[in-house]
Structure 1
């Protein structure tokens, strides 16, 4: 069912590292991520703000950049283990006929800009300036006490092709969504937990969300309370609830520009090679939630565009059970 994974990839990606987002109002977005999500500001200027979670030692996991136009996602970033992995990545992407360019990025060591076959803009680095971890300084805690960046979820017009590409780079599947023989969602990882990159079939490439781990499940509800108190009640996009895949408690929020961030508690380890991926039937409601109602249509189809990256439609648009269709079905049953 799933494409083959290269367990000895040409270079060693270790984890999801950081995301760079445009913000139409930098100060407002900064406040959202500090007061509600609970990130801390590492450094800021007139046009940029670097943030990190309480347990993160590296300089940033989220970069907000003042937008000059549409508030898009500039790039998603991954770490590699060694400097030589960057050289190997450069050679590999060039050999595949894919973009690969060396760039200068503040607070990072050598940085490589690459893209996957559908144009998803990726950033690879082996080093980043380090700072003090703040998880033992409760006087600095705000919001949901976000600890660390965990994963990204992207849209791709052909999930199987995207899964096969990242499988060449050593990404393994912890779980996946399928309908018959059709692969609709791949939950892939490098760091030994169940997610670094989730890929869902839809018009793409787009960034559906990025996720931070919170230390206690009650912080998910804290984020919702704070969102309401700070005028973001309608920004609660989905949940709180419990996922089927991964089994995490979660809530999804939309920031002032509509970028979607997930807060979730921890999940299981996937290091051992004999562990088989878990298959989920995409037609099952339990795929989406263990309890509660399905998500709205906007959660399934709205996502952040990548900067200067055209969107490719899938050959067949997915038709998930949304809250809207669920209500219609329930109403039809009652009327019958």
Structure 2
């Protein structure tokens, strides 16, 4: 069934903010995100690299941490004020959601918790400021990513995940459902006024499918693909270029040296006015994922980054998407 957004949530979430990944070769991952994707390196330590998009004033939107195995550590959201961190602690204590206050470099008050489907989340109310580089056009390389925009999480229970996050103020802009019903297969939810900050799609989870950065225009996507090919990462283009039906985005997906997936995209639309209604897509409609071109491969549909120590569950709904391999087998 369709969720109801709580327009007076217990604390104010403002946007998708930052993501932390464990990587097995810190230097190789740094080079990939700097040279192939085009992010700005803000700071390096012996065990971490902090990166950001060209228009971002916050210290980081991507943190790479050296680790023994590749994992998605935390998905970060911003809240409006320090008081919202306190309100989140109060709300989670009252509703039985485990949480922990942590100290993170370059971040203000920070809270970590697991949502009801096991997604590892982090809230922070502020970050150190650094100069924006949005007019340093001579530094626009590869895809010239501007800012972190959203995440997509694979979950075994889309309904439960969606109910939780709409209860915290997120609005559903688009969704996929079993044909002729509102049985949820995927939900696109937002707080900042475009189509999504946080997405949940049906599958083995919880796992982070991808995180996404905006780019200036369609030519930036093509240039990123050319740079990936020139630097030996052509086979790590996971999907695209193409255009999604859902969100209307032009997209390009790439895999980093540890196979974490990052999306570069452009052309979202606004979803601000409260009278706007979510767009519904039948799960059988291939245009929801791809308005033109062939479907994605098996690895795009079924591979994703696990969270440390989190059991992966089989989905409540049987997932059987048409993959590129199946498509080519019948055409």
Report the TM-score range of the alignment, normalised by the length of the smaller protein: over 0.9
Q: Partners of 1:303 and 1:88 in 2: how far apart?
A: 32
Residues 12-49 of structure 1 deviation map (CA, whole Å, 9 limit, x = unaligned): 00000000001111111111111111100000011100
For residues 245 and 316 of structure 1, the distance between their equivalents in structure 2, rounded to whole angstroms, comes to: 20
What is the distance in 1 between the residues matched to 2:100 and 2:316? 31
Q: Tell me by how many angstroms 1:266 deviates.
A: 3.0
Aligned match of 2:35: 35
User: 1:214·1:266 contact (CA, 8 Å) conserved in 2?
Assistant: no
Residue matched to 1:58: 58
Contact 1:242 1:250 in 2 (8 A): yes
In 2, the alpha carbon distance for the partners of 1:316 and 1:144 equals: 36
Structure-2 separation of matches of 1:316 and 1:278: 21
1:227 shift after superposition: 0.6
The unaligned stretches of length 5 or more in structure 2 are none
**Conservation of the 8 A alpha-carbon contact between 1:172 and 1:189:** yes
Shift of 1:184: 0.3
Query: Where do residues 242-253 of structure 1 align in structure 2 (5 Å cutoff)?
Result: 242-253=243-254
Contact 2:191-2:197 at 8 Å conserved across structures: yes
- 1:187 equivalent to 2:191? Answer no
Deviation, 1:114, is 1.2
For residue 150 of structure 1, what is the aligned residue in structure 2?
149
- 1:131 maps onto 2:130 in alignment: yes
Structure 1 residue 237 corresponds to structure 2 residue 235: no
Give the Cα separation in 2 of the matches to 1:179 and 1:297.
Answer: 21
- Superposed, which structure 2 residues align to 1:96-135 within 5 Å? 96-135=95-134
Conserved 8 A contact 2:116-2:160: no
In structure 2, the partner of 1:78 is: 77
- State the 1:4 CA deviation: 1.3
CA displacement 1:134-159 (0-9 Å, x = unmatched):
01112322211000000000011111
Per-residue deviation, residues 43-85 of structure 1 (Å, max 9, x unmatched): 0011100000000000000000011x21101100000001111
| Cα deviation code 1:169-196 (max 9, x no counterpart) | 1110110011132210000001111010
Q: 2:298 — aligned with what? A: 297
Aligned to 1:2: 2
Moved over 2 A (4+): none
Aligned residues: 329
Alignment of 1:154-173 (within 5 A): 154-173=153-172
**2:4 aligned counterpart, secondary structure:** coil
Aligned counterparts of 1:279 and 1:329: Cα–Cα separation in 2: 28
Distance 1:316 1:275 in 2: 28
Secondary structure (helix, strand or coil) at the match of 2:327 reads helix
Q: TM-score, normalised by structure 2?
A: 0.98
| Counterpart-to-counterpart distance in 2, 1:141 and 1:3 | 41
2:89 paired with 1:90: yes
Give unmatched runs, 5+ long, in structure 1: 331-336
- How many angstroms apart in 1 are the aligned matches of 2:298 and 2:198? 22
Q: CA deviation at 1:102?
A: 0.7
- Cα distance in 2 for partners of 1:119, 1:284 equals 29
Distance 1:88 1:19 in 2: 22
2: distance between equivalents of 1:326 and 1:266? 27
Task: Indicate the RMSD between aligned Cα atoms, in angstroms.
Answer: 0.9
Tell me the distance in 1 between the aligned counterparts of 2:6 and 2:146.
31
CA distance in 2, matches of 1:139, 1:298: 35
What's the offset of the Cα at 1:219?
0.6
Write the mapping of 1:197-208 to structure 2, written as runs, cut at 5 A. Answer: 197-208=198-209
Aligned twin of 2:279: 278
